[in-house]
Amino acid sequence: MKKPSLLLAVAALAIGMSCSSSVEQPTQTGTPTPSVTKTPDADDVIDEQLMIALGQAKNFHYKAKVYMTDGKVTEAIAAVRQILSLRFPANAPEADDVRNDARALLGRLLLSQNQLDEAMRVVEEGLAAVTRESFFVANLYTVKGEIHYARASAAGSGDAKSIEDKRAAIEALDKSIKINEALQKQLERP
Amino acid sequence: MKTDDDDFLTGAVPDPDAEPTAAELAHAKAFADLVDKTLVSGRMPPAMSTDDRALLEVATVIRATHGGLPLAPSKQHSVVEEALRLAIGGGNAATSLAGAPVIPIKRRWLPWAVASTTSLVAAAAIVLLVIRKPPVQVQPNVPTASIPLEWKSRPTDALIGRISSECSGPAIECAKQATVSTSARIDTIFSDRLAGYRDRRFGGKR
């Protein structure tokens, strides 16, 4: 019985190869022919995963807002931090925007608690991961400038570190202004 | 040499109602013992009279016809084999292949026929696959289904605009304001994308 089984297996394989080769015929240029009935790519459209992640981010922001009405900054910080752990669809532009916005808020909350180093770390991490410029990135630079200014104020005027931080603050704020202006121009184009 | 058996067999036939004589009883007992021994051992004694041998063979046959004699294992096996061979349509009953399963000819060629047919089809498919040239076809530029902008995942800059962070109060108040404004932004993003998602999933065809 082994030989007929082997023959059947070879036959099935050959038929399968023949059929699969006819599914997508390459053109002369070697690129697959796009199907007329092609549906939108899953990466392009707003899907359930994106909506779930946005909904979660909305809830965490709301929690932080409620905590802040009672002056519970630590709890608000914890709520905002959770936004950074949300799973968005890969390459969703909304994910970058929401995360950068959360980092900017987190930086300001930490700044209010005088946790300047941690605030700077959160902001720098966000800027290091930037793939495109946006109003949210500009806002991150603004927060960076605010943190530098807070450091300069803490160091005292005339101190070398204070001077350095003030210069860095101006630099960060200039960067923010540049990004905002460039984006504003882009949006105003017909 | 003349024996008692000779007298017993060649003498006058006794009356049916006559009482058996002592000699007859002794002879019957001796013969019964002989039959018992033969049936138990399965072998006849090497030396015995011709008449006793004839009677003993008759007794053995009578016993066998009543089903009391078990067959030897080899004989049982061959009988079962023959019966099975006949049941499944085997040929010559005289050719015994003990232990080997007998498959009818009709069933033997069927898988080979199926395999051969499919192999031929497969071979034809392979040949077709090898010799077929890719068709030269000029593909018109068929645009993919266009996706409305509001269905797409995209940057939110146009929706949110420039982010203002003006705050002149103490740091804690600025943080509070930032919390409120950031929450408002995510609300705006969520609402906009939800509208797009609903339109894509439940709206009309584009």
B125: nearest CB among A18, A34, A73: A18
Give the pTM.
0.55
**Chain B residues with CB-CB distance to A48 below 8 A:** 197
Residue-level length of chain A: 190
B191 in reach of chain A (CB within 8 A): no
Q: How many CB pairs under 8 A join A and B?
A: 189
Give me the amino acid identity at B67. G
Q: What's the confidence (pLDDT) of residue B80?
A: 83
Span A47-57, average pLDDT: 96
Q: Taking chain B (206 residues) in consecutive chunks of 10 residues, what is each chunk's mean pLDDT?
A: 56 78 84 81 78 80 69 79 77 51 63 83 84 56 68 93 86 91 96 93 66
Nearest CA to B120 among A10, A141, A184, A111? A10
B13 in reach of chain A (CB within 8 A): no
The SS3 assignment for A73 reads helix
Mutation target for B interface from A5, A35, A45: give the one with most B CBs within 10 A: A45
Residue with the larger pLDDT of the pair A32 and B52? B52
Cβ–Cβ below 8 Å for A94 and B156: yes
pLDDT band at A41 (very low <50, low <70, confident <90, very high): low
- Cβ neighbours, 10 Å, residue A152: 20
Give the A window 122-141 contacts with B, CB below 8 Å: 132, 134-136, 138-139
- DSSP symbols for chain B: ---HHHHHHHSPPPPTTSPPPHHHHHHHHHHHHHHHHHHHHSS--SS--HHHHHHHHHHHHHHHHTT--PPPHHHHHHHHHHHHHHHTT-S-TT---TTPPP--HHHHHHHHHHHHHHHHHHHHHHHHHHHPPPP------PPPPPPPGGGB---SHHHH-SPP----S-HHHHHHHHHHHHHHHHHHHHHHHHHHHHHHHHS---
DSSP state letter for B171: H
Report chain B's C-alpha Rg in angstroms: 53
Q: What's the confidence (pLDDT) of residue A95?
A: 96
A54: nearest CB among B118, B174, B189: B189
The mean predicted confidence, pLDDT, of chain A is 84
Q: What is the pLDDT of residues A138-152, one digit of tens each?
A: 999 999 999 999 999
Q: What's the confidence (pLDDT) of residue B138?
A: 47
Q: What's the confidence (pLDDT) of residue A130?
A: 95
pLDDT at A181 over 50: yes
What ipTM goes with this model? 0.77
Give the A window 57-116 contacts with B, CB below 8 Å: 57-58, 61-62, 64-65, 68-69, 71, 73, 76, 89, 92-94, 96-98, 101-102, 104-105, 108-109, 111-112, 114
pLDDT band at A62 (very low <50, low <70, confident <90, very high): very high
B160 in reach of chain A (CB within 8 A): yes
Q: What's the confidence (pLDDT) of residue A19?
A: 45
Beta bridge partners of A26: A32
pLDDT band at A16 (very low <50, low <70, confident <90, very high): low
Min Cα–Cα distance to chain B from A159, Å:
23
Domains of chain A: 44-188 (1.25.40.10)
**Chain B residues with CB-CB distance to A76 below 8 A:** 179
The SS3 assignment for A45 reads strand
B134 in reach of chain A (CB within 8 A): yes
Work out the angle between the directed axes of helices A116-128 and A135-155 (0-180°, nearest 10). Answer: 150
pLDDT at A73 over 50: yes
Span A92-106, average pLDDT: 97
Span A124-135, average pLDDT: 96
Q: What's the confidence (pLDDT) of residue A35?
A: 41
Q: What's the confidence (pLDDT) of residue B23?
A: 82
Nearest CA to A146 among A182, A181, A106, A97? A106
Question: How is chain B split into domains, by residue range?
Answer: 4-11+19-65, 71-104, 150-202
Mutation target for A interface from B103, B131, B151, B156: give the one with most A CBs within 10 A: B156
